[in-house]
Structure 1
Amino acid sequence: MKYYLCKFIPPRDDFLATMSDDEKTWMAGHGAFLDGLLDQGVIVAHGPVMDPAGGYGVSLYQIADDQDIASFTSRDPIVANGVGHYEHHPMLHLKARG
Structure 2
Amino acid sequence: MDQWIYFIHAPREDFAATMTEEEQAVWGQHVQLLTKRLADGSLILAGPTLGTINTGVCVFEAPDEEAARAYMNEDPTIASGIATGELRGFSAAFLRG
Superposition TM-score, scaled by structure 2 size: 0.85
Please give the alpha-carbon distance, in whole angstroms, between the structure 2 residues aligned to 1:41 and 1:34.
Answer: 10
Indicate the larger mover: 75-84 or 19-28. 75-84
The residue that corresponds to 2:82 in the other structure is: 83
For these two proteins, the number of residue pairs brought into alignment is 96
Deviation, structure 1 residue 94: 2.9
Unaligned runs of 5+ in 2: none
Matched, 1:30 2:27: no
- Write out the 4+ residue segments of structure 1 that deviate beyond 4 Å after TM superposition: 95-98
| Paired residues of 2:3 and 2:61 also in contact (CA < 8 A) | yes
CA apart distance, 1:77: 1.3
How far did 1:53 drift? 4.7
Q: 2:15·2:52 contact (CA, 8 Å) conserved in 1?
A: no
Q: Which has the higher helix share?
A: 2
Q: 1:78 to 1:24 in 2, by over 3 A?
A: same
TM-score of the two chains, using structure 1 as the length reference: 0.85
Percent sequence identity is 26
1:16 to partner: Cα distance? 0.8
Q: CA RMSD in A?
A: 1.9
